[in-house]
Chains A and B, each alone.
Chain A
Amino acid sequence: MGEGLVVVEDVHKVYKTGDVEVHALRGVSMRVDPGEFVAIMGASGSGKSTLMNILGCLDRPTSGRYLLAGREVSRMDRNELAEVRNEVLGFVFQSFNLLARTSAIENVELPLVYRGIGAKERARRATAALERVGLAARLDHTPAQLSGGQQQRVAIARALVGEPKVILADEPTGNLDSRTSIEVMALFQELGAQGITVVLVTHEADIAEFSSRVVVVKDGLILSDEKQAPKDARVALAAAKAAAPPPPPGVAERSP
């Protein structure tokens, strides 16, 4: 085994609310190798969100080590963490988290803005990223002009544009209908095939089926960690299309 891309060793996280201490994580260890598609599952309150925040460098562990792409991030300050988030990670959220009243391409350019990349290069890379998620025709649409699935694709393009080593997706299908969910999972599988590591947090078992490895978290500990043969999202999509006719245009998609 080589050096893991994501290496977590005995990570604890304790929140203090007044006098009460909440142990959200009680010693989690795991490693993710490049190209893996990992689903982290767990009920609410299991600590999976806390784990996700730590993996995403949004939060620091109370104790334990976290090595991301060979760098010790658990002791970094806010500026260094921001740099790591910008260069190594890409985020996809449940509620899309796009900037409102801002065009798709500008949303996708944003990580490059904070990296200090020039306007022309930003536009070129953002266009390429949007093409990659199949939204080449929607560059100038604002989130309000896009359907949920399209918004999530823009968010994925934004996560991709900085060429991250790991994409972290926190319940990315939570706000999508089942068919759009499968479309998004197909996109993730495609990225995995291109060598991008994806870590997905979900509480839906049928979404976790599309990953190559399922980690179950319970009460702040890893309950199980098993590799599996992923379900092919393209096949599932074809099946879903056969089962139900596609919605008439203009209903699901609010594009003008």
Chain B
Amino acid sequence: MNPLVTLRIALRAVLRNKMRSFLTTLGIIIGVAAVIAMMAIGAGAKAQVEAAFSAMGTNLLIVLPGSTTAGGSFGGFGTMPTLTWDDLAAIRNEVPTVKSAAPSMRSNQSLVSGELNWTTNVTGTTPEYFDIRAWPIAVGSAFTQSDVDTAAKVVVLGQTVVDRLYGPSANPVGQTVRIGNTPFVVAGVAARKGQSATGQDYDDAAFIPVTTFAQRIQGGLGKFLTGQIFVQATSAQTTARALEDVRALLRDRHRLGPGADDDFSIRNLSEIAGAQQQGTETMTTLLASVAAVSLLVGGIGIMNIMLVSVTERTREIGIRMAIGAKPRSILAQFLIEALVLSLAGGLIGVALGVGVATWLAGKFRWPMQIQVDVITVSVGFSALVGVVFGLYPARKASRLDPIDALRYE
């Protein structure tokens, strides 16, 4: 029999009981909508975590100086200056898994431009810093190595600082800003980076050459590097290796014997990012499996209503058989009817799922990502549910005895 004719018969049967058909497909609709919405929000959350960590920098290690001890009380990492400028040079030059390294010394300083002032975090660093943090310069340029060598009084401003001192649309490059009592020339403006994973504003910052920082803010360049070292590994695969290499190098340079504690610490940000991502993925999988169960329940609903439909239309089946419908034509008719139900449910579910995800994302400001492959898979799965759960009622219909079916009241 012509599949198009079969499809038309099935469509008519489905539309004849509109309310019943709708309620039957509700299970599938909710299931598919749940899958689509959950996966969209899950993917959005994952992308947000990824973006947050890639904003910190890629393949990043942070080396912190050691802790002070005063009468058994530890001051915490970073309180005791144990890292030296030579350590930084050694990390840069002697570890093959390290691509680049930059110091980061910080201090809160008041910046003044004309009548306006703003207190922000001033970081003394080297030009590699912007590369390591994956932080492009939007306007102007970063300071150079020669600026570092000559302790030039140049500054790169974060966007928030520009907003405060000059207004959002201003181009401050070439203007003078005072940090403390020292005038600095604005060399560039760092591109807007947004918030960190913990809600900190990355753009509320200013960057000056590390040598200038030591002279003007710290008051003299000593032996010790009183801040952190940002280290970028050559690739994501070598990040863990780089951590071990840097650790071995520093232990060697600090003459720490076996058994002695490290007088520094190294943080691997990729690992933290990985753990965060895994958490999101687990959550998504969990929600998706709940949704899959509801699809299954929807399938049982379809089987139920198809069985009712077969019983209800026993006489029709008898008539069709008497005038020459083969068992397989009857099978096809009811199977396609189940398929039409489940597929319609699937498609409505997709629309609903996209709608719900968009609404939730808008209402709670959640990120979301509609995934085409998820849509394809859930529509395909709902069709499969229709076939699997439609098979038994359809077989039952096709095996009816035409005489009994004709006599059925």
Q: Which residues of A pack against B, CB within 8 Å? A: 53, 56, 58-59, 78-79, 82-83, 85-87, 91, 93, 97-101, 110-111, 113-116, 119, 158, 162
Query: Once the chains are docked, how many angstroms separate the CA of A100 from the CA of B319?
Result: 11
- What is the minimal beta-carbon distance from B243 to any residue of chain A, in angstroms? 72
Tell me the B265-321 residues at the A interface (CB within 8 Å).
Answer: 315-316, 318-321
By the criterion CB–CB under 8 Å, are A110 and B403 in contact?
Answer: no
Query: Once the chains are docked, how many angstroms separate the CA of A58 from the CA of B324?
Result: 10
- What is the minimal beta-carbon distance from B48 to any residue of chain A, in angstroms? 54
By the criterion CB–CB under 8 Å, are B323 and A91 in contact?
Answer: yes
Chain B residues near A58 (CB, 8 Å)? 322, 402-403, 406
State whether the Cβ of B329 lies closer than 8 Å to any Cβ in chain A.
Answer: yes
Q: Specify which of A78, A85, A100 is in contact with B322 (CB 8 Å cutoff).
A: A85
By the criterion CB–CB under 8 Å, are A78 and B323 in contact?
Answer: no
State whether the Cβ of B16 lies closer than 8 Å to any Cβ in chain A.
Answer: yes
Q: Specify which of A56, A97, A110, A115 is in contact with B315 (CB 8 Å cutoff).
A: A97
Interface size on B, residues (CB 8 A): 21
Closest A-B pairs by Cβ, 4 of them: A86-B324, A82-B326, A114-B324, A111-B323
Q: Looking at A56, A58, A100, which has the most chain B CB atoms within 10 Å of its CB? A: A58
Known: A82-B324, A83-B324, A158-B323. A113 touches B403 (CB 8 A): no
By the criterion CB–CB under 8 Å, are B319 and A87 in contact?
Answer: no
**Nearest neighbor of A98 in chain B, beta-carbon distance:** B319
State whether the Cβ of B5 lies closer than 8 Å to any Cβ in chain A.
Answer: yes
Annotate B317-344 by CB proximity to A: 1 below 8 A, 0 otherwise: 0111111111111000000000000000
Query: Once the chains are docked, how many angstroms separate the CA of A119 from the CA of B328?
Result: 21
- What is the minimal beta-carbon distance from A54 to any residue of chain B, in angstroms? 10
State whether the Cβ of B1 lies closer than 8 Å to any Cβ in chain A.
Answer: yes
Chain A residues near B406 (CB, 8 Å)? 58, 93, 97
Chain A residues near B315 (CB, 8 Å)? 97
Known: A78-B326, A91-B323, A110-B323. A116 touches B316 (CB 8 A): no
**Nearest neighbor of A77 in chain B, beta-carbon distance:** B327
Known: A78-B326, A83-B326. A114 touches B403 (CB 8 A): no
Query: Once the chains are docked, how many angstroms separate the CA of A97 from the CA of B318?
Result: 9
**Other A-B pairs, 19, CB within 8 Å; known A85-B324, A116-B1:** A58-B322, A58-B403, A58-B406, A59-B403, A79-B326, A79-B327, A82-B321, A82-B325, A85-B321, A86-B324, A93-B406, A97-B318, A110-B323, A111-B323, A111-B324, A114-B320, A114-B325, A119-B5, A158-B323
- What is the minimal beta-carbon distance from B382 to any residue of chain A, in angstroms? 28
Chain A residues near B326 (CB, 8 Å)? 78-79, 82-83, 114
Query: Once the chains are docked, how many angstroms separate the CA of A116 from the CA of B325?
Result: 11
Chain A residues near B322 (CB, 8 Å)? 56, 58, 85, 91, 97
By the criterion CB–CB under 8 Å, are A101 and B16 in contact?
Answer: yes
By the criterion CB–CB under 8 Å, are B319 and A114 in contact?
Answer: no
Q: Specify which of B2, B316, B321, B402 is in contact with A113 (CB 8 Å cutoff).
A: B2
Chain A residues near B320 (CB, 8 Å)? 110, 114
Q: Specify which of A53, A82, A87 is in contact with B327 (CB 8 Å cutoff).
A: A82
Q: List 24 A-B contacts (CB under 8 A).
A: A58-B406, A78-B326, A78-B327, A79-B326, A79-B328, A82-B324, A82-B325, A82-B327, A85-B323, A85-B324, A87-B324, A91-B323, A93-B406, A97-B315, A97-B318, A98-B319, A101-B16, A113-B5, A114-B1, A114-B320, A114-B329, A116-B2, A119-B5, A158-B323
